Amino acid sequence: MAIDRLDGRLIELLAQEPRIGVLEASRRLGVARGTVQARLDRLQAQGVIRGFGPDVDPAALGYPVTAFATLEIKQGQGSDVRTHLATVPEVLELHTITGHGDMLCRLVARSNADLQRVIDRVVGFEGIVRASTAIVMENAVPLRIIPLVRAASDG
Amino acid sequence: MAIDRLDGRLIELLAQEPRIGVLEASRRLGVARGTVQARLDRLQAQGVIRGFGPDVDPAALGYPVTAFATLEIKQGQGSDVRTHLATVPEVLELHTITGHGDMLCRLVARSNADLQRVIDRVVGFEGIVRASTAIVMENAVPLRIIPLVRAASDG
DNA sequence: GGTGAAAGGTCATTAAG
DNA sequence: CTTAATGACCTTTCACC
């Protein structure tokens, strides 16, 4: 189940230089090409590596404002709220969290003013009782995974 | 600055099938190779596409528990807290948010019991006054970007 | 458009758990 | 004995000029 040292180094290498191929990776890691290929296949089969999709920056798309909204949901309306929020493009992710029918969602907007429009659309749904929004001022630690990979592979 | 319809379709295509090359992408989109290559170069130069790093699933690494912690920071200790949290592998991201010296961080742990260890390590720092943690029960909408890309390219 | 290179697959051999 | 790594070979496909 867990990944070993070589898996960890492979993931790190791919994260740092995504453009290198299997052959180049095998050279860098000092192992055979087939080994890298087998590891990659296994990591993807296990679901450790979900894919290699493009990493898109919302700010560069014109949405420089990020916010987190905590939503209080009316009993039994969770499913409807999920469906509703999934239709809002500015909702980048949504979690149900511990607490009395609470959800947490990540939003982006074109500006602070535009955030009002987004929030109105988000909470404009009968199942949502209350919403509390926190605007992100600085992304001190951008979403990262490498340190965790190191920890998981006892690197 | 903004992306057009073709950019949007290209990003979508790459998100759905990351393994396809420039040539195959040009066939699917019905445009010339050079066009796709130029668009890709421009999108990366503009920062819209940050890269094609591997998308790693923390759960598959053995960290199935996710939580969000809101931290209240002592005045003037923000920088030290950032440095401290950056050393904790289980801290996947950290934001400074609106509110009285507040930060929001995303954590993962091996189990609910292990979460206690992670939180202890996170808050075991003098600059942190108070911490409030919400455990994620269900990731109703996984982190996504395609709907926003569609909206940005008026797709 | 042509060409050098790499990806992806299969195989037998060898090493290690 | 089972699993994994290796190096060799092959064909298709792509990236670059």
Dump pLDDT digits (tens) for B112-127: 999 999 999 999 999 9
Which residues lie below 8 Å from residue B38, measured CB to CB, with a gap of 6+?
none
Give pTM, 2 decimals: 0.94
Spatial distance from the CA of B66 to the C1' of C8 (Å): 37
pLDDT computed for residue B135 by the predictor = 98
Element housing A20 (H / E): none
Q: Determine, for residues A56 and B62 on separate chains, whether the beta-carbon distance falls below 8 Å.
A: no
Fold of B58-135: Alpha-Beta Plaits (3.30.70)
To 5 degrees, how large is the angle CA B105–CA A94–CA A128?
115
Report the gap between the CA of A151 and the closest CA in chain B (Å). 7
CB atoms near residue B118 (< 10 Å): 22
pLDDT computed for residue B1 by the predictor = 66
Which one has a higher pLDDT value, A100 or A126? A126
Asked whether strand D has any atom less than 7 Å from the CB of A33, the reply is yes
Report the gap between the CA of A21 and the closest CA in chain B (Å). 11
Evaluate whether the domain defined by B5-54 bears CATH number 1.10.10.10. Answer: yes
Tokens 């290209």, residue? Answer: B10
Task: List the single residue in A with minimal CA-CA distance to B151.
Answer: A89
Domain ranges of chain A: 5-54, 58-135
Please tell me which of the candidates A14, A105, A106 has its beta carbon nearest to residue B53: A14
Chain B residues in contact with A139 (beta carbon < 8 A): 93-95
Asked whether strand C has any atom less than 7 Å from the CB of A21, the reply is yes
Q: What sections of B20-109 are H helices per DSSP?
A: 22-29, 33-46, 78-86
| Whether B148 contacts A61, CB under 8 Å | yes
Strands (E), chain A: 49-51, 55-56, 65-73, 91-97, 102-109, 128-141
Report the gap between the CA of B122 and the closest CA in chain A (Å). 14
Quick: pLDDT tens for B57-102. Answer: 999 999 999 999 999 999 999 999 999 999 999 999 999 999 888 9
Tokens 């019991």, residue? Answer: B113
Please tell me which of the candidates A58, A137, A145 has its beta carbon nearest to residue B97: A137
